[in-house]
Amino acid sequence: MPLSEHEQRLLEQMERALYAEDPKFASSLRSAGPRPGMRRRTAVGVLAALAGVAVLITGAATSVVAVGVLGFVLMLVGTFLVVSALRAGTAEPAAPQRPAPAAAPKQTFMDRLDERFRRRQEGDDV
């Protein structure tokens, strides 16, 4: 279901507030992409998992326990490869935290939204 016009505007405001408050974090989110070689690792993992399912079904159909166990292990290895590739492709090293400035804190976008909501509940805002 697509977002309504009002929800799209709110989302755009939240994005602009994020870029204004922490541009380094926002740019790291924008440029985060899969690392080289992760696509191949994901493909190998998917193929191994599918082959494991096939071998597992073959083992169950022929009543050979060793083949079923081999299929299960192959399926597990394939799933592990896919999950580790996806995690490694999206993981970014944590940025060092810097201390907050001693100046008066600015009101954040979420603070303004909370204030507007509170005023609406009290009947002060239209």
Provide CB contacts within 8 A for 66, sequence distance 6+.
59
Query: What span, in angstroms and rounded, lies between the C-alpha atoms of 17 and 60?
Result: 56
In the block, residue with structure tokens 């001693």: 102
Q: What is the pTM of this model?
A: 0.46
Identify the CA nearest to 92 among candidates 28, 12, 23. 28
pLDDT in tens, 75-125: 999 999 888 888 876 655 555 555 555 555 677 888 888 888 888 888 865
> Rounded to an integer, what distance in angstroms lies between the CA atom of residue 99 and that of residue 96?
10
Q: Share the mean pLDDT of the chain.
A: 80
